[in-house]
Structure 1
Amino acid sequence: MKKRSLWVITALMTLALLGVFVMQLYYIKESYKLKSQLFEQDVNQALNAVVNKVQKRNVAGHINRKDVELKAQREKGIRSQTDTIVAFRVKFKENENLRKINQQQQIINYLNSQDSIIRSNYVQPQIISEETFRLYKNPNADKINKPTLDIVDVRDPFTGELLGRSVNPRKTKTMPQMQVGKLPDTIRYLVYSKIDGLPLLVSLPSMEPDLISKFKVEDAKAQLKYEMELNRLYADTVNVLSNESVDLVRDVAKEINNSDVPLAQRVPERESLDTLIKSELLSKGITLDYDFWITPVNNNRNIIYRKVSNSSVEPIADNTYSHVLFSNDVATKDPGMIYLRLPSKNAAIFSNMFATLASSVGLLLVLIFIFTYTIYAIIRQKKLSEMKTDFINNMTHEFKTPVATIMIASEALKDPEIVEDKNRISRLANIIYDENVRLGNHIERVLSVARLERKEIALEFNPVNVNDLITAVVDSMGLQLQKRNATIALNLNAKEDEIMGDELHLSNVIYNLIDNANKYSMNAPNISINTKNTAKNLYIEVIDEGIGMTKDQTKRIFDQFYRVPTGNLHDVKGFGLGLNYVQDLVTEMGGTIKVSSEKDKGTTFEVCLPFKYNN
C-alpha cells in the first residue's frame, strides 16, 4: 500500500469517527434536555402539591381554631337539652315503676280474693307444684298415696272421755307468701272436700284476662307518650347543632378573607413545611438535598423564614423554582411566594442518564479501538511487507554468492588442464562442499523458524552445564571471530550452572547472540559473556560495544525479518530471523530475554532461564 493511500484511509476513518462523535454529542444533548424538562415538570408538580396542601392545612387550621372556640358554646347549647332529656327519661322511669307496682298490687288483690274463695269452699287448701299436679292427674293416681285429712280424737284431759273429733291443721303455702314476678301461668291447689274429706285438685289462673288487657293498654299509652316527647327534645338538639355548623363555616370564611392577617401567621411552621416538601419530592422519586424559603410577592428579599445550606443564596439562583403560596382572593392580601432550590439538579440528571452515557462512551471507545487497531494493522502490514521485501532481497543476496561460487567451481572442473591437477580438483570440490553446507544452513535456519512458529519443534530437556556450553560455542566460533580480531571476555561466575534445557537449541541461542555482537561492531569487536545465578534462575549476559540501537529499534528487534538498518550497505549478512528465533526458543524453555542498548555505545542481551522448568 502506498503511503498516500494510507493517509487517505486514515483521514476518511478519522472523519467518520468525528461524525459519530458529533452525533453522539447531539444525542446526549437532546437526551439531557428531555430529562431536564421531565425533572422540572416533576419538581413543579411536587411544589404545586405542597402549595395545595398548605392551603388545605391553612383552612383546616382555621376550622380547628374556630371549632375550639365554638366547642364551649356548643356544649353549653346542648347541655340544657341533654339535661332535659335525662330528666325526662328519669321521670318516665319513675312513672313506669309506679305503674308496675300498681299493676302488681292489682294482681295480688285478684289472687288474694280468689284464694279466699277457695279457702272458704274447701278444707286446708295447699298450693302444689306443676309436677305434683301432673302426678295426681295421672290415670294411675289411685295407686299413689294421696295425702288425706289428719283427723284426731278430742278427749277430756281429766276423765278421758271422747268429746269429739277435729282436723289437725297442716302448714300450707298461702298466696301472700308467693312472689308475683315468679308466678306460673296457672296456680295449682290440693284441697279437701268438706263433705267427705277426699282430696281434690283446683286450678287458678295467675292473671285475669281483663287485667292483662288493661295493663297492655296502659303500657302502650305510656310508651307512645314517652317516644313523642323524646323525639321532640332530640329535634330541638339537632336544630341547635345545625345552627352552630352554619355559624362555624361562616366564621371560617370570614377569617380566611381577612386581609389584615400577616403572611407569617398564615404559613405553616418550618419543620412541617420541610416534611411536606420532602414527602412530595420523594413521591416523584427525587431524593436530592434542597433549600427553600418564603417571601412576600412584591419583595423577594424580605425572607420570612428559610432553610438553606448557603445563606447567600438569592431567589434568582440557578435551579430555583417558585410558586404562589396562597391564592390571591383579596387584592390587598399578599399571597406569598415559596422558593425551592435543588443545587444537585445536574448531577441527578446525569445520574439518570448513566445508562445512556455509558452506552455512548462504550460505543465511542469501541469505535476508537477499532479505528486505532485498523490503522495499527495497516501500518504493521505495511512494515511487514517492507521487511519481507528486505528479507527476500537479503535471502537472494545470501543465496546468490554460494550459488555463483559453486557455478564457477563447476565450470573450472570442466577445464581439461584442471582435471589433470588433483590438488586443484580437491580444492574445488571442498569449495563446492562448503558452499553447499552454507546453503543448507541458510535453508535450515528459515525452516527452523517456520517449524518453531507452528510448534513443530519438540525440545528435549536434559541437564545442561551452561558454562561449559558457552565455552564450547565460543571455541567453535574461533575462526569466525579471528577474522575480525574480536576479543572475547568470559566471566562465567555462575556457581550453579546446570539447568534443564535442549542443549542443541540453547547452543544456537548463544551462537546467535555472539554472532550479532560480532557482526554489528564497526571496529574490532569487544564482547563480554557473563553468567550468574540466583536461587531460582540462571542469567546469561552478552555485552558488546558495537553500533547499538535506538529505543524504537530495541522494541522491534525480536520481530521477524526485522534488521537494524545499516544504510545501503550489505556488509552485515542475515535474514532478520535470528533474534526472533532466539526469543521463541527462550520462551519455550520457560525463560525470558531482555535487551538494553544505546546508539553507538553497544548493546546488552540478558537471558534468564529457570533451573527447573515444567513443560
Structure 2
Amino acid sequence: MKKRSLWIITALMTFALLGVFVMQMYYVRESYNLKSQLFEQDVNQALSAVVNKIQKKNVIRHINQKDIEFQELEVSNIRSKTDSIVAFKERYKENKARRRMKLQQQILQYLNEQDSIIHSNYVKPQIISQEDYAILSNPNPNNKNTLNYKIDEFRTPDGIVLSRKLSSNYERKRPIIRLDKLPDSIIYLALSPADLRPQFIILPTMDPDLKTKFELEDVKAEHRYKMELERLYADTVTLVGNNGRNVMLLQDVAKEMANKNIPLEERIPSQETVDTLIKRELLSKNINLDYNYWVTPSKNTDKVIYQNVSLQEAEILPKNTFSKIIFSNDLMIKDPGMLYVSFPNKNSLIFNNMFVTLISSVGLLLVLVFIFAYTIYAIIRQKKITEMKTDFINNMTHEFKTPVATIMIASEALKDPDLNADKARINRLAGIIYDENVRLGNHIERVLNVAKLEKKELKLERQPVAVNELISLVVDSMSLQLQKKDAEVTLALDAEKDVLIGDELHLSNVIYNLIDNANKYSPSNPKITIKTRNHANGIDIEISDEGIGMTKEQTKRIFDQFYRVPTGNLHDVKGFGLGLSYVNDIVAQMNGSIKVNSEKDKGTTFTIHIPFKLNN
C-alpha cells in the first residue's frame, strides 16, 4: 500500500471517528438538557405540593384552634353538669344510707319488743341457729339429737310448789345475729309455761307492714333518682348539633383567615415542618440532594423568615434556585410570602442519572478509538511485513542466484572436453557444485523450518544433550567461517551439570545462528565470548560480541520474521531475517527463554535459559 493511500485512509477514519465523537457529545448534551428539564419539572411539582400542604396546614391550624376553643367551652359546660350529676348521685347515696339506717333501727326496735314478749310469755327462751333447728326438729331423731329436759320441784310439806329447777342436754352455742346480715327469721327454743314442754318459736326478722312501707319508699326514691338523672344527662348534650357546630366553626375560621393583618410568620408552620415537607416531597420525586431553602415576604426579600443557609449579599438568588408563592392571591392576603429552594449539587444528580448513558458513550468511543488505532497499527504493520517480505524475496533470490550461477558455471566447465585429462580440476569443480548444492539445501531447510514453526508442525526430539560438548562442536564446524574474519572466540563453559533433555539438532542450529550473527555483525576481528553456567533448574547459555550493537527500538523487533537490523556501512551481511525468529521459537518450544542486551556500537549479548527437562 502506498503512503498516500495510507494517509487518505487514516484521514477518512479520523474524520469518521471525530464525527461519531461529535454525535455522541451532541447526544450527551441533549440528554443532559432533557434530564435538566425533568429535574426542574419535578422540583416545581414538589414545591407546589409543599405550598399546598402549607396552605392546608394553615387552614387546619385555624380549624384546630377554633375547635379547641369550642371543645374547651363544651368541656367547661360538661364539667359543671358532671359535677351536678356527681353531687346528685352522692345525695342519693346518702339518702339511701339514711333510709337503710332508719330501717335497721326500726327492725332492731321491733326485734327487741318481740324478744321481750317472748321472754315474758315463755320459760327460758333461747335463740338457736338454723342448723340446730333442723337437727332438733327432725321427726326421727337419734339418741344423740334427742332433746331431753329434767324438772326438779321444791314443795312445802303441804304440797305447795316453792320452786322448780330445769336442766336439759342442749348445750349448743347461741348464734350471733347481725343487723346487716339478718336471716329471714329468728328461731327461739323455749318451754311452755303450762306444761314446761319444749317448743320452737319462729319470729320473722321484719314486720311485714314495715317491710312493705320501706320497699315502697325505695321504689319511689329510685324512680325520682332516674328521672332527675336523665334530665341532668340531657342537659349535658350540646344544644348545637354536629352540622351546626361545623358551620359555626368554618364561619369563624373564614373570618380569621380573611384578616389581612395576620403576619406571615403566624400563617406558615414551623421551620422544622417546612424542612420536613420539602424533604418528603423531593424524595417522592426521587431527588435525594442537599438543598438550601429560605422563606421571605414577597414584597421585602431582604427579610428572611426561615433559612437553613446564610445568604451573601451578592448571592441573593444562587444558581439552580426555584421559587414559589406560598399563599395564592385569591385569599386576598396582604403578603403571600415566597419559598426559595436551591440545589448546589444539581449536576451531580443529573450525571448520576446519566451514568449508564455516559458509560455507554465513553465505552463506545473507547472501542472505536481502539479499533481505529488497531486498524492503523495493523495497516502499518502489514505494510512493514510486506516490505520485509519483499526484501526477503529479494535476498532469497540473491542467495539462490549466486549458488545456482556458480553451479551452472561449474557444470559448463565440466562439459569442456579438454578437462577430461585434468582430474584435479574436475574434482575441484565437482566440490564446488557439491558445496553450492549444500548451501542451497541449507537455505531451503531454513525456510521450511520457519514454515513448520509457524504451523506448529515442528516436533522436537527428546534425548540427552551435553551442552558444553555441543557448543564446542558447533564452534569447530564454524572454524573456517570464523577464520575468514579472524574472529577470536572465547569459551567459558562453566556449567558443571550440562546435560539436558532436548533436541540436539535444533539446539545446535540455535547456537550456530547466534554465533553466525555475532560474526557477521562485527566489522573486523570479531571478539565472541560463549559462556555456560548452571542456574536454578536449567542451564544459561550466553553469547556476546563487540559488534555494531543495536538500539532499544531494534532489540524489540529482532525476533520478528523477516526483520533485519540495518548494518550501516557493512554491505556484506546477508540473510533472510529468519534466524532470530527461528531461535526464539525453538527456545520457546524447549520451555526456555531468551533475553538480549545490546548497546549501539558496543556489542550485543544473548542469554538463553533452557530447563533440564521439557514439559509434557
Specify the alignment match of 1:257 in structure 2: 258
Specify the alignment match of 1:318 in structure 2: 319
Specify the alignment match of 1:163 in structure 2: 162
Identify which of 578, 591, 594 aligns with 1:592.
Answer: 594
- Name the CA shift for 1:605/1:106 in 2 (closer, same or farther; >3 Å): same
Relative to structure 2, which stretch is displaced further, 187-196 or 574-583?
Answer: 187-196
User: Aligned pair count?
Assistant: 604
Contact 1:596 1:604 in 2 (8 A): yes
Q: CA deviation at 1:525?
A: 6.1
Provide the C-alpha distance between the structure 2 equivalents of 1:471 and 1:335, rounded to a whole number of angstroms.
Answer: 107
Contact 2:296 2:337 in 1 (8 A): yes
Q: CA deviation at 1:542?
A: 3.0
Specify the alignment match of 2:335 in structure 1: 334
Q: CA deviation at 1:23?
A: 5.2
Specify the alignment match of 1:456 in structure 2: 459
Where 1:420 maps in the other structure, the secondary structure is coil
Provide the C-alpha distance between the structure 1 equivalents of 2:198 and 2:10, rounded to a whole number of angstroms.
Answer: 143
Specify the alignment match of 1:433 in structure 2: 434
Specify the alignment match of 1:87 in structure 2: 87
Provide the C-alpha distance between the structure 1 equivalents of 2:43 and 2:214, rounded to a whole number of angstroms.
Answer: 77
Contact 1:493 1:531 in 2 (8 A): yes
- Name the CA shift for 1:228/1:426 in 2 (closer, same or farther; >3 Å): same
| Structure 1: gaps of 5 or more residues | none
Where 2:140 maps in the other structure, the secondary structure is helix
- Name the CA shift for 1:317/1:447 in 2 (closer, same or farther; >3 Å): same
Root-mean-square deviation (Å)? 4.7
Where 1:298 maps in the other structure, the secondary structure is coil
Specify the alignment match of 2:146 in structure 1: 146
Provide the C-alpha distance between the structure 2 equivalents of 1:240 and 1:218, rounded to a whole number of angstroms.
Answer: 35
Paired residue type of 1:513: L
Where 1:321 maps in the other structure, the secondary structure is strand
Q: CA deviation at 1:419?
A: 3.3
Contact 1:558 1:580 in 2 (8 A): yes
Where 1:584 maps in the other structure, the secondary structure is helix
Relative to structure 2, which stretch is displaced further, 121-130 or 225-234?
Answer: 121-130
Specify the alignment match of 1:294 in structure 2: 295
Where 1:400 maps in the other structure, the secondary structure is helix
Where 1:511 maps in the other structure, the secondary structure is helix
Provide the C-alpha distance between the structure 1 equivalents of 2:95 and 2:149, rounded to a whole number of angstroms.
Answer: 48
Provide the C-alpha distance between the structure 2 equivalents of 1:509 and 1:159, rounded to a whole number of angstroms.
Answer: 180
Specify the alignment match of 2:177 in structure 1: 178
Q: CA deviation at 1:336?
A: 0.8
Q: CA deviation at 1:44?
A: 3.3
Provide the C-alpha distance between the structure 2 equivalents of 1:464 and 1:310, rounded to a whole number of angstroms.
Answer: 86
Where 2:609 maps in the other structure, the secondary structure is strand
Where 1:294 maps in the other structure, the secondary structure is strand
Where 2:396 maps in the other structure, the secondary structure is helix
Specify the alignment match of 1:44 in structure 2: 44
| Structure 2: gaps of 5 or more residues | none
Contact 1:324 1:337 in 2 (8 A): yes
Contact 2:597 2:605 in 1 (8 A): yes
Provide the C-alpha distance between the structure 2 equivalents of 1:77 and 1:311, rounded to a whole number of angstroms.
Answer: 56
Q: CA deviation at 1:234?
A: 3.9
Q: CA deviation at 1:398?
A: 2.3
Provide the C-alpha distance between the structure 1 equivalents of 2:479 and 2:186, rounded to a whole number of angstroms.
Answer: 157
Paired residue type of 2:593: G
- Name the CA shift for 1:505/1:389 in 2 (closer, same or farther; >3 Å): same
Provide the C-alpha distance between the structure 2 equivalents of 1:41 and 1:213, rounded to a whole number of angstroms.
Answer: 88
Provide the C-alpha distance between the structure 2 equivalents of 1:614 and 1:326, rounded to a whole number of angstroms.
Answer: 90
Relative to structure 2, which stretch is displaced further, 292-301 or 234-243?
Answer: 234-243
The aligned runs of 1:202-213 (5 Å cut-off) are 203=202, 206=205
- Name the CA shift for 1:544/1:173 in 2 (closer, same or farther; >3 Å): closer
Paired residue type of 1:230: L
Paired residue type of 2:260: S
Provide the C-alpha distance between the structure 1 equivalents of 2:389 and 2:19, rounded to a whole number of angstroms.
Answer: 37
Which digits, 9 at most, give the CA deviation of each residue in 1:95-128, with x for residues without a partner? 1212222333454456556666766765544443
Provide the C-alpha distance between the structure 2 equivalents of 1:100 and 1:9, rounded to a whole number of angstroms.
Answer: 125
Q: CA deviation at 1:574?
A: 1.6
Contact 2:136 2:147 in 1 (8 A): no
Provide the C-alpha distance between the structure 1 equivalents of 2:209 and 2:14, rounded to a whole number of angstroms.
Answer: 122
Provide the C-alpha distance between the structure 1 equivalents of 2:464 and 2:364, rounded to a whole number of angstroms.
Answer: 49
Specify the alignment match of 2:516 in structure 1: 515
Contact 2:587 2:594 in 1 (8 A): yes
Q: CA deviation at 1:353?
A: 2.6
Where 2:365 maps in the other structure, the secondary structure is helix
Paired residue type of 2:354: M
Where 2:162 maps in the other structure, the secondary structure is strand
Provide the C-alpha distance between the structure 2 equivalents of 1:150 and 1:268, rounded to a whole number of angstroms.
Answer: 102
Q: CA deviation at 1:341?
A: 0.7
- Name the CA shift for 1:442/1:237 in 2 (closer, same or farther; >3 Å): same
Q: CA deviation at 1:343?
A: 0.8
The aligned runs of 1:441-590 (5 Å cut-off) are 441-453=442-454, 454=456, 456-458=459-461, 464-465=467-468, 476-483=477-484, 485=485, 488=488, 490=490, 505=506, 507-520=508-521, 524=524, 526-527=526-527, 529=529, 540=542, 542-546=544-548, 553-564=554-565, 572-587=573-588, 588=590, 590=592
Paired residue type of 1:298: K
Paired residue type of 1:457: L
- Name the CA shift for 1:398/1:37 in 2 (closer, same or farther; >3 Å): same
Q: CA deviation at 1:579?
A: 1.3
Where 2:40 maps in the other structure, the secondary structure is helix
Provide the C-alpha distance between the structure 1 equivalents of 2:144 and 2:174, rounded to a whole number of angstroms.
Answer: 25
Specify the alignment match of 2:363 in structure 1: 362
- Name the CA shift for 1:161/1:41 in 2 (closer, same or farther; >3 Å): same
Provide the C-alpha distance between the structure 2 equivalents of 1:408 and 1:437, rounded to a whole number of angstroms.
Answer: 16
Contact 2:296 2:305 in 1 (8 A): yes
Relative to structure 2, which stretch is displaced further, 333-342 or 108-117?
Answer: 108-117
Where 1:339 maps in the other structure, the secondary structure is strand
Paired residue type of 1:128: I
Paired residue type of 1:562: Y
Where 1:259 maps in the other structure, the secondary structure is coil
Q: CA deviation at 1:558?
A: 1.4
- Name the CA shift for 1:392/1:97 in 2 (closer, same or farther; >3 Å): same
- Name the CA shift for 1:496/1:57 in 2 (closer, same or farther; >3 Å): farther
The aligned runs of 1:35-434 (5 Å cut-off) are 35-59=35-59, 80-108=80-108, 123-136=123-136, 138=138, 140-141=140-141, 143-154=143-154, 163-167=162-166, 178-194=177-193, 196-201=195-200, 203=202, 206=205, 214-239=213-238, 253-308=254-309, 311=312, 314-328=315-329, 330-331=331-332, 333-434=334-435
Provide the C-alpha distance between the structure 2 equivalents of 1:106 and 1:234, rounded to a whole number of angstroms.
Answer: 36
Paired residue type of 1:434: D
Provide the C-alpha distance between the structure 2 equivalents of 1:37 and 1:593, rounded to a whole number of angstroms.
Answer: 62
Provide the C-alpha distance between the structure 1 equivalents of 2:603 and 2:311, rounded to a whole number of angstroms.
Answer: 66
Q: CA deviation at 1:404?
A: 3.6
Where 1:340 maps in the other structure, the secondary structure is strand
Provide the C-alpha distance between the structure 2 equivalents of 1:392 and 1:236, rounded to a whole number of angstroms.
Answer: 126
Provide the C-alpha distance between the structure 1 equivalents of 2:289 and 2:359, rounded to a whole number of angstroms.
Answer: 22
Q: CA deviation at 1:559?
A: 0.9
Contact 2:592 2:611 in 1 (8 A): no
Which digits, 9 at most, give the CA deviation of each residue in 1:42-86, with x for residues without a partner? 433443444344445545655677788889877765554444333
Provide the C-alpha distance between the structure 2 equivalents of 1:558 and 1:185, rounded to a whole number of angstroms.
Answer: 133
Identical counterparts, % of pairs: 57
Q: CA deviation at 1:267?
A: 4.1
Relative to structure 2, which stretch is displaced further, 417-426 or 9-18?
Answer: 9-18
Contact 1:126 1:173 in 2 (8 A): no
Contact 2:487 2:519 in 1 (8 A): no
TM-score by length of 1: 0.79
Provide the C-alpha distance between the structure 2 equivalents of 1:563 and 1:542, rounded to a whole number of angstroms.
Answer: 18
Provide the C-alpha distance between the structure 2 equivalents of 1:137 and 1:172, rounded to a whole number of angstroms.
Answer: 15
Paired residue type of 1:179: R
- Name the CA shift for 1:325/1:221 in 2 (closer, same or farther; >3 Å): farther
Provide the C-alpha distance between the structure 2 equivalents of 1:515 and 1:309, rounded to a whole number of angstroms.
Answer: 84
Contact 1:315 1:339 in 2 (8 A): no
Contact 1:78 1:240 in 2 (8 A): no
